[in-house]
Structure 1
Amino acid sequence: MHFFPNPYNDEILYSVLARYSVRCGIISHKTIIEGIFGKASARAVMELPFNINGLISNLPVNSPYTGDVFIYNHTLYTFFTAFLPPERAEGIKCLMLEESGGSKAYGKAGILGSRLPLNEYMKFCPKCFEEDTAQYGEGYWHRIHQVPFIMVCPLHETLLYDSTVLVRGHNPQAYIPANGDNCRVNELPYYKPDTIKKFINISKDVQNLLESSFPNKPFTWFAKQYVERFKELEYANINGRVYWDDLVQDFKDFYGEEFLNAMQSNIEDKGQGQWIREVTHSDAKAMHPIRHLLLARFLGLSLDTLFNKEICYKPFGDGPWLCLNPAADHFLEPVIKDVEIKYRRRNKNTNGFFRCGCGFEYMRSVARKQGERVIRGESTGIRGKEDRVIRDKGMGIRSKETGVRDGEVEIEDREAGCEEQGRFVRVVKYGHVWEEKVLELIDEGVSDEEIAVRLNADVRKIRGFNRGKGDRDNMGEDERSKGEGVKGTRIIETLDNSIDFIVKRQKYREEWLRVVGENPDKGRVELRRLGKYTCTWLCRNDREWWEKNTPAKKYVQADNTVDWEIRDKEILQHVKQTVQEILDSEEKPQRISLRLVKTKSGLKSFDLQLDKLPLTKAFIDSAIETPMDLHKRSIRWAINKLNEEGKALTITNITAMTGVGNKYRKQVVEEIKRVLEGLGKR
């Protein structure tokens, strides 16, 4: 070949070779194709041409084109291999480069077995043809227009027309270029506006697929992605069992029968309807790319997410999770690292069991919504994510007086497009820390009702700890009078004086005496920590003995000595770093104030006792901004953003980005004028 035409933007290789066949001046198609591929038996193939190595070897000397350039940019290879495993995609590429590719590439791509037809005629967009002729002096076949089931041009959003050129024509060696004779506008079938809108969306998805280089993944990857997304949208339970009736109905309502018939993917059709089950099966196989795109758009999955981000259904979000034990030091802190998830078949709920090291265990439930579903919009197809927040910062485990049963936490669910609805968390086990806190409060003389409020439990449960199984009325007269003679004494009857009880009591008594003997300088709180379970059992079942054999309460004054000079220097460095981070932030500026510094630095009120931190106080006073100082920073930030976006530096644009109010608008406008003059702008 003495010359080779440069491919135009989005031109398919078939069209490039067709333009060459016109310009070379040779009439015989057989001679032309022999000159292109070096073999007279070669064929003019549009979608997945083969023997590209032969074409490369016949190109003019120093030609910049390679086999990869032609395959990735000027054939339908990236479309048909997008959802194939990497080894199969590479195999198809090798077949296209080799002389013996032919129909083998089509079979390996799953085209022959998909039962979906290829285009019969070359397609064109009248507006593209007109613009191409005006710009280049000739029209050409666009690659995106030749993709099967692409009904509209993604650039002009107009319906595509069939030309008179057969893709698989009577002469298999002829390359036919696009021209005014074979690209004539004819009558098109009528489609509803909503259907055309869906055609546009799919065509843009295909364009994204052609122009991007997404990594090839195995079939099981896509099957797992879809099933995990089914779980997120409640089309499948936690075990992966799909609710096909709901899914099929929503899929049909989402696209409409007219659109699905045009795509030949109506899932209610006996011949076509099994594809959605096949593509999500664990033993998935090759599926037509257009059907992958249909399912991904319905599920609200972008191509980037589908190919690059592994979806994992987490009904309770990412850990660690909060401990809901109000008696623990880490109350409402994310310390629980593992959750056990179980599916309850009877009510179709997903239950999560959260166990903390303090012994507290609770269960959260995610109920599958019943009734009418919300059909997602075509533009996104994405449902809102649940944002569960503890409503009561004091714990959320309400007493009986609040209307919530004992052992339950009220959770607030916020979902986009859905009404707020109460959810409950059931306490499975309170644990030793919670029980010890109850006993400690009882020792302090706190009333049962107050303990119930502090620990967010039913008052009856607290009374069970306080009173035990027995009742003072069941005791003898001597014991009753003995108990009444001591103010605040609480008599706990727990177990009958059986042999087992006596043996267990003796065991715990000896254990407690050992703990007390080994730690003579410890107080009650420290002893209770050392002998957690022993202390709990004795307090509940042998309280009087425990009181006699436990040291009295110690009241130790806390050591509050702090070297404020050293702390001042440490906090000053931390505050300086925080202020610098605020100034360097690329987000919209915030006014530097004492509150903002405290929030950004994470310092507590105790740490920022400014009357004891003279260096820190002086720096904060110097760093605090007036409203006008903030506006000056905002003006510089807005100018930088407008320059990045390539927008005009006008007073209107800058004031809009700064968000200045009426109070300072006049001063801000004057400052903007001054800055623009300094930049040489008006």
Structure 2
Amino acid sequence: MLAFFPALYEDELLYSWFARYHVRSCNLSPKVTMAELYGSSSVMAVPDLPAHLRQVYGRLKHFDPPGIDEWIGQHTFFHYYTTFAKKDVRDRVFTEMLEGTSPGSIHMMTGAMASSVSESSVFRFCPKCADEDIKQYGETYWHMSHQLPGVLICPKHKHFLLNSSVSFRGKNKYVFHAATIPNCKRSQGLPMYSEKTMQKLLIIAKELIQFAHTDLSFTRSGVEQAYKYLLQKQGYATISGSVDQHTLAQQFSRFYGRELLEAVQSPVNSDNPSCWLKAITRKQRKAFHPIRHILLIHFLGESIDTFYRYGSQTYKPFGLPPYPCLNPAADHYLQPVIPNVKETICTDTRKPVGTFTCSCGFIYSRRGPDHSEEDRYKVGHVKQFGPVWQDKLHDLIHTKKLGYYAAAKQLKADIGTVKKYANQRQIAKDNSKKAGSTLPLESKREQWLFLQKENPKISVTEVRKCHQALYAWLYRHDRQWLQKNSLRMNKTAVKNQRVNWVERDQELVKEIKDAVNKLLKFPKPVRINRSRIGKKIGKLALLERHLAKLPQTNVYLNQVTESVEQFQIRRVRWAAKTLYNQHQDVVAWRIQRLAGLYKDIGEKVNREIDAQMDSYSNRRKEV
């Protein structure tokens, strides 16, 4: 039984812990140390994925050390190499690290040996961390996070890691080498990287260290689905999942730069059929190095903390149903009444096209994907206007005697379209005369009355949704009778009072002020525009159709609504404040990413970004 054993330090490799014991035990031969730890002198000293740990734990448990799960999870490369591996591989690696039944098999199982990303040939250290260790403990040690492939900077001190004189896998595989002042020399040249590369190397280091300490355990199918969803969302993949590899590689290389990609041994060549970026975004048939997963995840705007959310997400280029009807002639105009969307792919652009069919007969489509809430209310092409729209047009032109331009403005249609449909005279007022018999009309009337009688507790709208064809037929051919024999319409028909527009104008201003205050309090900024305000108070149609009768409302809306540039500036201020409160560096690329400014931005917005950086930089200096 061992008489003593040193304490295990935070983020210390088990290898380092055992090495410090070897130094303190004053054992002259490393074989003696091996025998004391493992019960055998033939076990190898492995720095990243050691085995036979159950044997060691059995010899140390009387010192009440941390549990063996913590040994493996917090003081080895276990999570680093198995987070993206299959579950059976994780389980086998864990078991092998406990038992050591198949020497040399662990690195084969993780795929580390087959990777083109090489590990460091020597142990590395942060000089500032070493100084802190000596001050606190009287000695330094090998930090696990400093040895991870891809970690080139110490996130705590933002200092480049230096090379020690100790080989990571020495010629003598049965010796533990502890970190000491002599083998951690400070007089070394530091690499010279651009500020952009430095910032990204720091982010990558933080991400790699975090998941090396965290039990995330992704599934292979979950990783594939997450990548597919995020690539589709960012526009690099079609709705069928086909990836535009050339554009992806081009943007990926531009985002990181050659300097960084070479530093982390992950250059991209889209002309190479075996390029790792192509392979990782297709069906994954092999393991990929963790650094490459982190590079892709960060490029797609996510982090190791958020990536897992997308493992079961299905891409919806037009958002979730229900979708709004955009028929200006319908009483449910702008209301979410369309239950689904038919998605196809544009043959020219390969982008998604959504076709929306409403029960009123109005069918429209648009090219996606939608990037904002406002996009849901855009029409790319009207495929069919339907009977409700045609009836309204006929009423405007032939009954109310409006001109083509006035009708076109009210129906939000092209003047040529209005002329075309106005002259077709498709609307029949009496289907019974046209058919030469009253039987079809009477039959449909009876059906409508029967449906209302059998469903007294549900509204006409609900009856209509269930029997769209019947309602549409009656609406087109027998509208007056339909209005008189609909329960809901009977109840509301008496409300034929004149509107007091002055009073309504004053009430609307109050409602809009309240809505704007609420919108400004959203955790993440949303653009203050007429459409969003109208939806917030549930009166968008009123604002669109009758604003001329609401002068106070119109003036106030012009005061509070934002241009695209004004909204971008507000997002910049929000992003800078958020970064500062989260104790992150308030730098341009972080502000742009958090504010969602991915396209070319104007001079005013750039000036605001600079102003925010200067402002928060001065605050930190004052603190």
Judge same fold: TM > 0.5, yes or no: yes
- Report the counterpart of residue 440 of structure 2 in structure 1: 511
Tell me, in whole angstroms, the C-alpha distance in 2 between the residues paired with 1:447 and 1:90: 76
- Report the counterpart of residue 205 of structure 2 in structure 1: 203
Maintained 8 Å contact 2:32/2:41: yes
- Report the counterpart of residue 45 of structure 2 in structure 1: 44
Asked which structure has the greater RCO (Cα within 8 Å, sep 6+), the reply is: 2
How far is 1:231 from its partner? 2.2
How far is 1:130 from its partner? 1.2
Tell me, in whole angstroms, the C-alpha distance in 1 between the residues paired with 2:371 and 2:163: 47
How far is 1:260 from its partner? 1.6
Tell me, in whole angstroms, the C-alpha distance in 2 between the residues paired with 1:226 and 1:319: 24
1:150 aligns with 2:151: yes
How far is 1:513 from its partner? 5.2
1:389 aligns with 2:374: yes
What's the Cα RMSD here?
A: 4.2
Tell me, in whole angstroms, the C-alpha distance in 2 between the residues paired with 1:55 and 1:23: 17
1:280 aligns with 2:281: yes
1:144-202 deviations in whole A, cap 9, x for unaligned? 11112321211111111111111221321211111111111243363223333332221
- Report the counterpart of residue 226 of structure 1 in structure 2: 227
Corresponding letter in the other structure for 1:434: W
1:49-80 deviations in whole A, cap 9, x for unaligned? 00110011111426143210100111111111
Maintained 8 Å contact 1:230/1:236: yes
1:224-267 deviations in whole A, cap 9, x for unaligned? 32233222222223322222222222222222222222211111
Maintained 8 Å contact 2:16/2:142: yes
- Report the counterpart of residue 87 of structure 2 in structure 1: 86
Maintained 8 Å contact 1:512/1:531: no
1:280-306 deviations in whole A, cap 9, x for unaligned? 111432100011111112222111221
Tell me, in whole angstroms, the C-alpha distance in 1 between the residues paired with 2:292 and 2:328: 52
Tell me, in whole angstroms, the C-alpha distance in 2 between the residues paired with 1:557 and 1:146: 75
Give the % identical residues: 30
Corresponding letter in the other structure for 1:457: A
1:526-549 deviations in whole A, cap 9, x for unaligned? 9x996743674699xxxxxx99xx
1:433 aligns with 2:373: no
Provide the secondary structure at the position in 1 that maps to 2:380.
Answer: strand
Match of 1:358 among 357, 360, 367: 360
Provide the secondary structure at the position in 1 that maps to 2:108.
Answer: helix
Provide the secondary structure at the position in 2 that maps to 1:364.
Answer: strand
Distance 1:505 1:87, change over 3 A: same
Tell me, in whole angstroms, the C-alpha distance in 2 between the residues paired with 1:17 and 1:121: 18
Count of residue pairs brought into register by the alignment:
486
Maintained 8 Å contact 1:2/1:60: no
Corresponding letter in the other structure for 2:441: W
Distance 1:425 1:599, change over 3 A: closer
Tell me, in whole angstroms, the C-alpha distance in 1 between the residues paired with 2:180 and 2:240: 57
Tell me, in whole angstroms, the C-alpha distance in 2 between the residues paired with 1:99 and 1:457: 75
1:34 aligns with 2:35: yes
- Report the counterpart of residue 324 of structure 1 in structure 2: 326
1:292-441 counterparts in 2 under 5 A? 292-310=293-311, 311-366=313-368, 386-389=371-374, 411=378, 424-439=379-394
- Report the counterpart of residue 424 of structure 2 in structure 1: 468
Provide the secondary structure at the position in 2 that maps to 1:335.
Answer: strand
Maintained 8 Å contact 1:110/1:286: yes
Corresponding letter in the other structure for 1:39: S
Task: Give 1 or 2: higher helix fraction.
Answer: 2
1:632-656 deviations in whole A, cap 9, x for unaligned? xxxxxxxxxxxxx999xxxxxxxxx
Match of 1:454 among 404, 410, 414: 410
Corresponding letter in the other structure for 2:62: V
Maintained 8 Å contact 1:363/1:425: yes
Tell me, in whole angstroms, the C-alpha distance in 2 between the residues paired with 1:65 and 1:466: 83
- Report the counterpart of residue 458 of structure 2 in structure 1: none
Distance 1:300 1:434, change over 3 A: same
- Report the counterpart of residue 261 of structure 2 in structure 1: 260
How far is 1:454 from its partner? 3.0
1:461-610 counterparts in 2 under 5 A? 461-464=417-420, 466-468=422-424, 505-506=434-435, 509-512=438-441, 532-533=472-473, 536=476, 558-559=493-494
- Report the counterpart of residue 72 of structure 2 in structure 1: 71
Tell me, in whole angstroms, the C-alpha distance in 1 between the residues paired with 2:239 and 2:448: 51
Distance 1:125 1:364, change over 3 A: same
How far is 1:508 from its partner? 6.2
How far is 1:451 from its partner? 4.0
1:642-661 counterparts in 2 under 5 A? none
Distance 1:530 1:184, change over 3 A: closer
Distance 1:175 1:356, change over 3 A: same
Look at both structures and tell me which one has the larger radius of gyration over its CA atoms: 1
1:93-172 counterparts in 2 under 5 A? 93-172=94-173
Tell me, in whole angstroms, the C-alpha distance in 1 between the residues paired with 2:236 and 2:250: 11
Distance 1:67 1:446, change over 3 A: same
Distance 1:269 1:111, change over 3 A: farther
Provide the secondary structure at the position in 2 that maps to 1:428.
Answer: strand
Maintained 8 Å contact 1:515/1:531: no
Corresponding letter in the other structure for 1:359: G
- Report the counterpart of residue 240 of structure 2 in structure 1: 239
Maintained 8 Å contact 2:344/2:353: yes
Maintained 8 Å contact 1:50/1:101: no
- Report the counterpart of residue 213 of structure 1 in structure 2: 215
Maintained 8 Å contact 2:22/2:33: yes
Tell me, in whole angstroms, the C-alpha distance in 1 between the residues paired with 2:115 and 2:189: 26
Q: What TM-score, normalized to structure 1?
A: 0.63
**Runs (5+) with no aligned partner, structure 2:** 453-463, 497-513, 524-532, 540-580, 584-623
How far is 1:18 from its partner? 0.7
Tell me, in whole angstroms, the C-alpha distance in 1 between the residues paired with 2:397 and 2:469: 17
Q: What TM-score, normalized to structure 2?
A: 0.69
Tell me, in whole angstroms, the C-alpha distance in 1 between the residues paired with 2:278 and 2:366: 31
1:580-603 deviations in whole A, cap 9, x for unaligned? xx99xx999xxxxxxxxx999979
Provide the secondary structure at the position in 2 that maps to 1:389.
Answer: helix
Corresponding letter in the other structure for 1:171: N
Tell me, in whole angstroms, the C-alpha distance in 1 between the residues paired with 2:273 and 2:3: 49
Tell me, in whole angstroms, the C-alpha distance in 2 between the residues paired with 1:600 and 1:233: 27
Distance 1:191 1:107, change over 3 A: same
- Report the counterpart of residue 593 of structure 1 in structure 2: none
Tell me, in whole angstroms, the C-alpha distance in 1 between the residues paired with 2:471 and 2:23: 96
Distance 1:516 1:315, change over 3 A: closer
How far is 1:28 from its partner? 1.4
1:17 aligns with 2:2: no
Corresponding letter in the other structure for 1:323: C
Tell me, in whole angstroms, the C-alpha distance in 1 between the residues paired with 2:471 and 2:413: 25
